């Protein structure tokens, strides 16, 4: 299974990126799951969706995430993560889940406001993820390249 965690501060770019991934991955497999830890529940049809609400997968919901991934029967799982997630803690949890069975890629969507107002968080997002996409988050060649690298 391939788990793709999608991090960043803004909900809408994470939702659009998740939808773009679902569209691409649905052409590859019908065994696709969405583990939704985003700040606002994602309204996405056509995919098995499990809501991970009431906290963040980097701390209070980490045991729930670990349990769900252990039982998940999917080729791909998408994990849009709450903006409250600490990138370092999330990276630590995800690293503990890596195995021959579970490959993990973390994508950070980094907006201009975070870059300007919180450069420390920007560096943390960059160092804790495998791939970075910077604002503007247009579905252009950059987004298509990101999706291509994840497959």
Q: CATH number for the domain including 16?
A: 3.40.50.300
Torsional class of 92: left (φ above 0), alpha (ψ -120 to 50), beta (otherwise): alpha
CA dist 114 to 47, 88, 119, 123, Å?
Answer: 31, 16, 7, 10
pLDDT given at position 118 = 95
- Please count the structural domains in the chain: 1
Q: Is 146 exposed, middle or buried (0-12, 13-18, 19+ CB in 10 A)?
A: middle
Asked whether 119 and 95 are in contact (CB, 8 A), the reply is no
d(CA 129, CA 85): 13
Supply the pTM of this predicted model. 0.92
- 150 inside domain: no
**What are 85-128's pLDDT values in tens digits?**
999 999 999 999 999 999 999 999 999 999 999 999 999 999 99
3-state SS assignment for residue 52: coil
- 151 inside domain: no
Q: Helices in the chain by DSSP H: which ranges?
A: 11-28, 62-71, 87-97, 112-117, 119-127, 141-150
What is the extent of the structural domain holding 41? 2-145
d(CA 149, CA 71): 26
- 98 inside domain: yes
pLDDT (tens digit, 0 to 9) for every residue of the chain, 151 residues total?
999 999 999 899 999 889 888 988 888 899 999 999 999 999 888 888 999 998 999 999 999 999 999 999 999 999 999 999 999 999 999 999 999 999 999 999 999 999 999 999 999 999 999 988 888 876 555 556 666 766 6
């Amino acid at each position: 299974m391939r788990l793709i965690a999608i991090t960043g501060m803004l909900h809408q770019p994470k939702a659009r990126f998740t939808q773009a991934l679902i569209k691409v991955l649905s052409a590859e497999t019908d065994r696709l799951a969405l583990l939704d830890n985003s700040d606002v529940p994602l309204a996405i049809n056509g995919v098995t969706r499990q809501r991970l609400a009431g906290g963040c997968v980097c701390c209070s919901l980490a045991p729930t995430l670990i349990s769900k991934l252990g039982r998940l029967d999917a080729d791909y799982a998408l994990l849009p993560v709450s903006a409250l997630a600490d990138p370092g803690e999330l990276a630590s949890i995800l690293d503990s889940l890596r195995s021959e069975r579970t490959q993990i890629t973390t994508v950070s969507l980094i907006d201009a406001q975070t870059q300007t107002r919180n450069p420390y968080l920007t560096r943390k997002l960059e160092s804790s993820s495998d791939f970075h996409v910077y604002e503007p988050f247009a579905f252009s060649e950059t987004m298509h390249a990101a999706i291509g690298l994840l497959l």
